[in-house]
């Protein structure tokens, strides 16, 4: 999974097809909990471009998108938000996969 480097990159990536932003932070225990399963999820849903956003580095982007809990997921397709799985709760592999499968793109 690539790491977001700039706001300009975010703006460009969200215009693409099937982009899934994963909001996380190094200090977040629930984020570390899903780290080992994310490669399998990325492989299973390889039509999506997964991009990790460090919550601390891009706090203004989090505020703009109403992402106040992590880990969280926000999906974009051709510039439009098509789904969000945003909360402060720990997420399971099954919950993440159900969210992705429920996206209508």
From CA 40, how far away is CA 76, in angstroms rounded? 21
| Total-model pTM | 0.93
Q: Catalytic: 62? A: no
CB atoms within 10 A of CB 83: 17
Burial status of residue 31 (CB atoms within 10 A of its CB: 0-12, 13-18, 19 or more): buried
Looking at residue 83, which CATH number applies to its domain? 3.40.30.10
User: Which listed residue (25, 31, 65, 86) is catalytic?
Assistant: 31
Catalytic residue flag (residue 28): yes
The total of other beta-carbon atoms located within 10 Å of residue 47's CB is 9
Catalytic residue among 22, 25, 28, 62: 28
Total domains present in the chain: 1
Q: Which domain holds residue 22?
A: 2-101
pLDDT tens by residue, 3-29: 999 999 999 999 999 999 999 999 999
On average, the pLDDT of the chain sits at: 95
Tokens 């460090």 correspond to what residue? 54
Instruction: Give pLDDT, residue 104.
Output: 85
Q: What is the DSSP string of 82-104?
A: EEEE--SS---HHHHHHHHHT--
């Amino acid at each position: 999974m690539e790491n977001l480097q700039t706001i300009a990159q975010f703006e460009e990536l969200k215009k693409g097809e099937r982009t899934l932003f994963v909001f996380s932070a190094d200090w977040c225990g629930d984020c570390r909990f899903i780290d080992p399963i994310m490669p399998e999820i990325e492989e299973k849903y390889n039509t999506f471009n997964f991009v990790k956003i460090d919550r601390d580095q891009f706090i203004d982007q989090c505020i703009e998108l109403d992402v106040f809990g992590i880990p969280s997921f926000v999906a974009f397709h051709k510039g439009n938000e098509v789904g969000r799985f945003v909360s402060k709760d720990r997420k399971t592999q099954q919950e993440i996969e159900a969210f992705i499968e429920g996206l209508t793109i």
